[in-house]
Amino acid sequence: MARISFKTTLVAAFSAVLIFFGSSAFAKEEGEGGHGEGAKEEFNAGEAILHHIADSHEWHFFSLGDKHISLPLPVIVYSPERGLSIFSSSHFHHGEEVYNGYKLEHDKVIGVKEDGSTDESVNVYDFSMTKNVVQMILAVITLIWVMTAIGKKYTQEGAGKAPSGFQNAIEPVITFVRDDVARPNLGHKYKKYLPYLLTVFFFILINNLFGLLPGAANVTGNIAFTALLALVSFIVIMFSTNSHFWGHIFWPPNVPLPVKIILIPVELMGVFIKPVALMIRLFANMTAGHIVILSFVSLIFIFGQMSTIAGWGFSPVSIAFSVFIYLIEILVAFIQAFIFTTLTAVFIGQAFEGEHHAEGAGHHEALSH
C-alpha cells in the first residue's frame, strides 16, 4: 500500500508541475495573440495541446512570465541555393527573429528575404537535431547502457546465478518476450529474430516511458518515428518470406477462379496494410493519451476564462482525472510495446508459415514409417 501511495503522490506531483508550468506557457500564448496593450485573446485549447505534443527546435521546459527556461538545439539546414548552415536555435529567439536568411515559423525552418518575407525560391532541407531526435538518441543510449550492464553482469557472475538488482527486473521481461511472443509465433526460428524483437520492445517501451515525464518529448506520438519502425519491420518481414507465402498471395489455393481475381489484389494490399497498421496503432494510442491529459489540464484555463473561482474550483477535478489517465498511460506504455512486438512476430511467422506445414508433414510421414 505504501508503494502504491508513493506512486500516486508522484503522479500527482507531476500533474501539479505540469499545470503550474503549463499555466505560464498557456498565458504567454494567450498574451502573444493580443492586438494591442491590454488586449485579451481567448484560450485556444486545441492550438495549445498540438503545440505541446509537436516536435520543436528547442527543448522548452517551462516559462516564468516572460522568462523561458529552454535548451537550444542545433539547427542543421541545407539549401541548394544557399548551401549548408549549422547554428543554434537560440538565434531564432523562439521564432521572433531572422538569422542567416532563415526563420522559424510554426517550428518549421523556412528561407526568407532581406525584408523578412518568405522566399519561395529557396528550398530548405531540415536535418536539425530536434527535441524528438535528441530524446530518441537518449533512449538509444539508455537501452545500450542497460543491456550492456546486464550482459556484463551475466559474463562476470555466470548464467547459473540468480539475478539481482536491476537485472532481476529486466530478466522476466526478456523471458516473457521469448516465451510468449517469439516462440509461439516463430517456432524453431525464434532465436534468429529474438534480438530484433527485444530491441523493438525495449526501444518503444523506453521512449513511451520517457514521453510521460514532464517536459519530455512525445517521440512515439510522432508519425515519422512510428513509420520508420514499421518500415524496418516491413523489411524484416519481406526478407523472411518464401515461395509458399508469395504463392498464396498471387494464386490462393482451393479457391474458385472468379474469387481468385478478387482475392489476389486484396491479399497483395494486405502485405502493405500490415506495417501501416503497426504505424498507426502505436502513433494513435500514444498521442491520444497525451491529448487526453492535456485536455483535462486545459479545462482549468477554459473554466478560468469564465470565472477565476470556476478555474480554481475545477483544478482538483482536473488533477484527479489527470492522475487517473497518467496511471493508465504507464500501463499503455507497456501494452503498446508488447502489441507492436507481438504483431511484428505474427507477421514474420506468417511470412514463412509454409515451412511449418512442410516440416509438420515430413514429421508425420516419418512417424508413419
Confidence (pLDDT) at 360: 43
Query: Considering the chain, what percentage of its residues have pLDDT values greater than 90?
Result: 25
Query: Do 339 and 332 contact (CB within 8 A), yes or no?
Result: no
Provide the whole-model pTM: 0.79
Q: Is 175 found in the same domain as 98? A: no
The neighbour count for residue 355, using CB atoms within 10 Å, is 16
> Which own/partner pairs from 326-329 qualify as long-range (CB within 8 Å, at least 24 positions apart)?
326/11, 326/14, 326/15, 326/212, 326/293, 327/7, 327/8, 327/11, 328/289, 329/212, 329/289, 329/290, 329/293
Confidence (pLDDT) at 16: 46
Confidence (pLDDT) at 201: 95
Q: Classify residue 2: in a domain, yes or no.
A: no
Residue 87 CB contacts under 8 Å (≥ 6 apart), including other chains: 74, 75, 99, 100
Cα radius of gyration (the chain): 26
Q: Classify residue 53: in a domain, yes or no.
A: no
Domain boundary, last residue among 87, 105, 128: 128
Confidence (pLDDT) at 3: 40
Q: Is 261 found in the same domain as 221? A: yes
Q: Is 172 found in the same domain as 119? A: no
Q: Is 227 found in the same domain as 98? A: no
- Which stretches of the chain drop beneath a pLDDT of 70? 1-41, 43, 45-46, 63, 65-66, 157-164, 354-369
Q: Is 151 found in the same domain as 109? A: no
Confidence (pLDDT) at 340: 95
Q: Classify residue 40: in a domain, yes or no.
A: no
Confidence (pLDDT) at 25: 43
Say how far apart CA 255 and CA 261 lie, in whole Å.
10
Confidence (pLDDT) at 23: 42
Q: Is 217 found in the same domain as 87? A: no
129 closest CA partner among 72, 204, 52:
72
Domain boundary, last residue among 65, 95, 128: 128
Confidence (pLDDT) at 40: 53
Say how far apart CA 83 and CA 76 lie, in whole Å.
11
Confidence (pLDDT) at 232: 95
CA distances from 248 to 244, 265, 354 (A): 6, 12, 10
Q: Is 135 found in the same domain as 118? A: no
Confidence (pLDDT) at 233: 94
Q: Is 194 found in the same domain as 109? A: no
Residues 198-238 pLDDT 10s? 999 999 999 999 988 887 888 998 899 999 999 999 999 99
Residue 83 CB contacts under 8 Å (≥ 6 apart), including other chains: none
Domain boundary, last residue among 83, 102, 128: 128
Residues 84-108 pLDDT 10s? 988 888 888 877 888 888 888 877 8
Say how far apart CA 94 and CA 58 lie, in whole Å.
8
